[in-house]
Chains A and B, each alone.
Chain A
Amino acid sequence: MRGARHGTMNALQRIAAAAMSRDLCGFVVPGAEIARTVGIDLGDAGLRLSATPRHANVLVVIGRLPAGLLDAACVVYAQMPRPRAILTLGTNDISPLPVPDATGPLTQAGLEAAIADIRRIFAMAAFQPDVENFEAPTLETSTEYTCPMHPEVVQEAPGNCPKCGMTLVERETAGSVHRGHAVPEQKREVAAQKHSKPVAVCHDRSKGGHSADGDNHEQHKTHGSGHKQHHMRAKPDNTEAPLQYTCPMHPEVVSDEAGSCPKCGMHLVPVAEAGGHSGHDHKAHGKAHDEHSTDNHRGGHGGHGGSERVEGVEAHFMSMVDLTRDMPASADGLKMEWIDVPFGPFFPGLPGGLQLKLTLDGDAVATTSADSLVGSSDPLRANPSSPIEFVDHLAALSPLSPIAYRLLACLALEQAAGQSVAPDIARARLAVVERERVASHLGWLAVFGAQSGSSWIEKRAAAFQLKVQGAAATDVTTLKPKLSTFLAKLQRTPLLAARLSGIGQLPANDTLSGPVARASGMASDTRSDDPVYAEIGFSVLTMTDGDALARLVQRCNEITQSLDLISAVGSVARLEPHSIGAASGTGEAVVETPRGAARLSLTLHKGKVIAADIKTPTTAHLTLIGDVAEGQELGDALTGIGSLDISPWEVTS
C-alpha cells in the first residue's frame, strides 16, 4: 500500500486499521455523475462520498482520465490524509498517480469487489514502517530569480538585473512539469507583479467579447490611464538637464554623479525621473498630469504630491493611493484588489472536468474564464474508421449522454449510405433517447442538489436516475407516478423559487439551445421537425423567464413529457448501429440531445468514415458562462453556471 501511514502494525494500530477499513470515504474523479451514467451506485457499495480530499481516504477513479484531469487528480491524492488508497474502475493506467491499490471493471459488481479488496488492504497494511512521500507534479516548485522592477527579467541563477543592475530576488514558482495548458506561465505573471494583473484581466474581458455592458467601458478606460501612468514612470521624456542622481528605491540616496546605489546596487537615475516615486519633484509630476488629463482618471491621482517627506519614513509609506494605484477598478470605480479563484475540475457543485477561473472583486465575480479539461477536439479518432468504431467513439465522446450521440452517428451513417430504418425501430430509438433525456435531467438535478446543499434532492434524483436508465418501457410507466410526486415536491421546496428566480437570466438568442433556449421562450427543438415525434403527439414546451428557476422547471416538465412519450411508444430498444456495407456518400444528421441540438456531418468512402465534423450545444453554452456569472455574487454565479447544464466532455474546439 503506497499511501500507508508511517508506523508498525501493533495491537493499537490493528484496531485503528480495522476501524478505518469499515469506514471508507471516497473522493470520486471525475465525478459521481459519471459513475451514475454507467449505472454505478457508489453509496450502495458502502462508500461515503466526500466533497473534499481532506476528508477522504479512497480516491475513486471512474474510467480513463485525460492527462489534464490526471494532473488535477494528483493534487487531490496528495492532499488526502494517510492512510489512503486508490481504487480504479475500468482503467489501470493512471500515471503519474501511484499504482492503484484495487481495480475492477466498470460495473457495480466490479466496484463492490474492489471495495472489498480495499477494506482488506486497509485492515492489513494501513501502517507501514517505510513509506514514500508522494508529490503531485503540478505542486512541485522551483526557485527562480527576478528583478523587483522588471518582472520580465527571470533567470535561474542569482545575479544582477541586466536592465537596472539591481540585485535579483528569489521567488518560488510552480513546477513546469507536464502541464499541457499555460497555467503555470499565467500564474507566474500574476504572482510576479500586481501591475500585470489588470492588463491580463482586461485582455481576458475583451477576448470574451462581452463589451456590451456599460461598466466594462469604464474598466477599459481606467485601465488605459493606469497603463499610461505606468509608462510615464518607466520612460519619462528627458527634457530637463539632470543635475543630481538618486536611487529609484531609496530617495534618500542623492549623488552628483551617476553610479550605483550603496543600499541595493541599482543604477542611479536622474532626479527628475525618480520624481514620480519620491514625490518631491512637483514639476515633473505636474507635467505627467497634463499629459493624460484627457483620460477619465479617478482615484489614484489626487494625493500624489501631498505626502511630505518624513525623516526615516519612505515617501508614500502605507498611502492608500499608492497601494491601489495599478489595481483594477470595481463597477463602482473604486480600485481594489482582485483575486483569482479556481473552481473545478473536481468542484462538487459543478460537472467534473469543468475548470472555472473566476476573478473575484470581494464576493462578486469580476471576470470568468471557463475551460474543459476533458473536451475532445476530434470526432474521428482513427482516420479512416469503420462505422462501428465511429459510433462507439462518438458515444464515448459524451459519457453524460452517450445514447443521443450514438443515435446521431447512426443517423448520419444511414443517411450517407442512403438507408432508411423501419418505423418500429425508429420509434424504439425515439424511446431510448427520451429515456436518456429523463436520466440526464435527473443527473443534472442531482448535481444541482449537491451544489445547493439539499442532499435529499441529490439522493432522490440520483436514485431515480439509476432506476430510469436501463429500465424497460413498462418499468418506466410504473416509475412515473413516484417521479411526478418527487418533481412536484421539488418545485414546492420552500425558498427554492426565491433563491433561483432572476439568477443567470439569458435573453433569447442564437447561442442558446436545448432546455436553456426553451426556458428563455424560444421554441427551438429539432424534435418538432421529426415525423416520428409528430406521429406520437409531440409539442415543444417552453417557459418565458429565462432564469435558473425557469430552467429547473423546464427540465422537470421535459422529464414528465419524455415519460409520456416513452409510454406512448411502449418499447425501448438497444441502439445498434446498422451494417453500412461498402457505401460511399455524405450524411448529415441532427439529434436533440438532453443539452440541445447536436449536428454531425460525415463523409463515407467505401464503408469507412474518412471525415466528420460535429457541433455540440455545450461548446456554444460554454461562452454563456461570462454572461451568467460576471457581476454576480459568487453563490449566484455558481448557481447560474450550474443551471446551464454544461457537459465539459462535449466541448469541441
Chain B
Amino acid sequence: MNALTQYGVLFGLTLGTIGFVLCFYLLACAIGSTRREPGKDVPATAGSLSRDPVWVRYHAKYYGYALLFLAFDMEMAFMYPWAVVYREEGLTALLDMGVFLAILFLGLLYGWSQGALRRQE
C-alpha cells in the first residue's frame, strides 16, 4: 500500500464519519425541533421542586483513602524494577511479588472490614 492509497483510505474514513454525523443531524432536524419548556430544565426530583444548589462542600475524610492510595502507589513503584528482572528470576519473582501483593491486599480487606472505605466511620 503506497502513501497515496493510505491517504485515500484516511480521506474516505473522514468523509464517512462526517457523513454519518450529518445523517443523524438531518434526521433529527426532519423529526422536528424540541420545545423549550421550563419544566424540562428542573432537576427530576420525583415530583417536587428543588432549586437549591447541589454543589456543596462536605468533609471527604480523605486520610484513610490517602493511606490506601499510598500503599498501592508504592507497590507500582516496586513493580517496575520487578518487571525488568521478571524474565531472569522466573517463578521466584512471581512468588516474591505474590506474597507482597497478598500482604497489601489483606491490608485492604482488613480496612474494608473495619469500615475504612465508608465515609461515616
**Chain A residues within 8 Å of B, Cβ to Cβ:** 5-7, 12-13, 16, 52-54, 71-73, 75-79, 81-82, 127, 131, 133-136, 138-141, 172, 174, 183, 187, 190-191, 324, 330, 332, 334, 336-347, 355, 361-364, 631-633
In the A-B complex, list the 3 residue pairs whose CB atoms are closest, starting with the nearest.
Answer: A78-B39, A72-B47, A7-B32
The residue in B38, B42, B48, B54 that gathers the most chain A C-beta atoms within 10 A of its C-beta is B48
Contacts of A7 in B (CB 8 A): 31-33
Partner of B32, one of A5, A324, A332: A5
Q: Is the beta-carbon distance between B51 and A339 smaller than 8 angstroms?
A: no
Contacts of B52 in A (CB 8 A): 187, 190-191, 339-340
Q: Is the beta-carbon distance between A136 and B46 smaller than 8 angstroms?
A: no
Instruction: Given A5-B32, A191-B51, A633-B118, check contact A134 B39 (CB 8 Å).
Output: yes
Q: Is the beta-carbon distance between A339 and B56 smaller than 8 angstroms?
A: yes
CA A347 to CA B47, docked complex, whole Å: 8
CA A79 to CA B35, docked complex, whole Å: 12
Which residue of chain B lies nearest to A76 when distances are taken between CB atoms in the complex?
B47
CA A332 to CA B58, docked complex, whole Å: 12
User: In angstroms, how far is the closest chain A Cβ from the Cβ of B18?
Assistant: 22
Partner of A344, one of B40, B42, B46, B49: B46
Instruction: Given A336-B58, A337-B58, A362-B119, check contact A187 B44 (CB 8 Å).
Output: no
CA A52 to CA B27, docked complex, whole Å: 26
28 cross-chain CB contacts under 8 A: A5-B32, A7-B31, A7-B32, A73-B47, A78-B37, A78-B42, A79-B40, A82-B34, A131-B35, A133-B35, A135-B37, A136-B39, A139-B38, A174-B51, A183-B48, A332-B59, A337-B57, A339-B52, A339-B53, A340-B52, A344-B46, A344-B47, A345-B46, A345-B48, A362-B58, A363-B119, A364-B120, A632-B120
Contacts of B114 in A (CB 8 A): none
User: In angstroms, how far is the closest chain B Cβ from the Cβ of A643?
Assistant: 19
CA A136 to CA B37, docked complex, whole Å: 10
Contacts of A136 in B (CB 8 A): 39
User: In angstroms, how far is the closest chain B Cβ from the Cβ of A205?
Assistant: 18
Contacts of A332 in B (CB 8 A): 59
The A interface is mostly helix, strand or loop, or mixed, namely mixed
Q: Is the beta-carbon distance between A138 and B56 smaller than 8 angstroms?
A: no
CA A136 to CA B40, docked complex, whole Å: 10
CA A437 to CA B101, docked complex, whole Å: 53
Contacts of B45 in A (CB 8 A): 341-342
Q: Is the beta-carbon distance between A139 and B47 smaller than 8 angstroms?
A: no
Contacts of B51 in A (CB 8 A): 172, 174, 187, 191
User: In angstroms, how far is the closest chain A Cβ from the Cβ of B80?
Assistant: 36
Q: Is the beta-carbon distance between B48 and A16 smaller than 8 angstroms?
A: no
User: In angstroms, how far is the closest chain A Cβ from the Cβ of B48?
Assistant: 4
Which residue of chain A lies nearest to B42 when distances are taken between CB atoms in the complex?
A139
Instruction: Given A75-B42, A363-B119, A633-B120, check contact A341 B35 (CB 8 Å).
Output: no
Residue-wise interface mask of B (1-39) relative to A, using a CB-CB cutoff of 8 A (1 in contact, 0 not): 000000000000000000000000001001111110111
User: In angstroms, how far is the closest chain A Cβ from the Cβ of B43?
Assistant: 9
Q: Is the beta-carbon distance between B30 and A12 smaller than 8 angstroms?
A: yes
Instruction: Given A127-B32, A633-B120, check contact A338 B56 (CB 8 Å).
Output: yes
Contacts of A135 in B (CB 8 A): 37-39
User: In angstroms, how far is the closest chain B Cβ from the Cβ of A346?
Assistant: 5
Q: Is the beta-carbon distance between B40 and A334 smaller than 8 angstroms?
A: no
Q: Is the beta-carbon distance between B120 and A12 smaller than 8 angstroms?
A: no
Partner of B46, one of A78, A334, A342, A363: A342
Instruction: Given A133-B37, A362-B119, A364-B119, check contact A347 B46 (CB 8 Å).
Output: yes
Instruction: Given A72-B48, A139-B49, A339-B52, check contact A330 B37 (CB 8 Å).
Output: no
Contacts of B60 in A (CB 8 A): 362
User: In angstroms, how far is the closest chain B Cβ from the Cβ of A259?
Assistant: 36
Which residue of chain B lies nearest to A72 when distances are taken between CB atoms in the complex?
B47
Contacts of A71 in B (CB 8 A): 47
User: In angstroms, how far is the closest chain A Cβ from the Cβ of B109?
Assistant: 14
Contacts of A172 in B (CB 8 A): 51
Instruction: Given A7-B32, A73-B47, A187-B49, check contact A362 B39 (CB 8 Å).
Output: no
CA A78 to CA B43, docked complex, whole Å: 12
Q: Is the beta-carbon distance between B50 and A341 smaller than 8 angstroms?
A: yes
CA A343 to CA B59, docked complex, whole Å: 23
User: In angstroms, how far is the closest chain A Cβ from the Cβ of B42?
Assistant: 6
CA A355 to CA B45, docked complex, whole Å: 11
Contacts of B53 in A (CB 8 A): 339
Q: Which B44-78 residues have a C-beta within 8 angstroms of A?
A: 44-54, 56-60
Instruction: Given A135-B37, A136-B39, check contact A343 B46 (CB 8 Å).
Output: yes
CA A131 to CA B49, docked complex, whole Å: 25
Instruction: Given A7-B31, A337-B58, check contact A75 B119 (CB 8 Å).
Output: no
Given A72-B46, A139-B49, A338-B56, list of 15 further CB < 8 A pairs? Answer: A5-B35, A6-B33, A54-B44, A81-B34, A127-B32, A133-B37, A140-B38, A183-B48, A187-B52, A191-B51, A336-B56, A336-B59, A337-B58, A342-B48, A364-B120
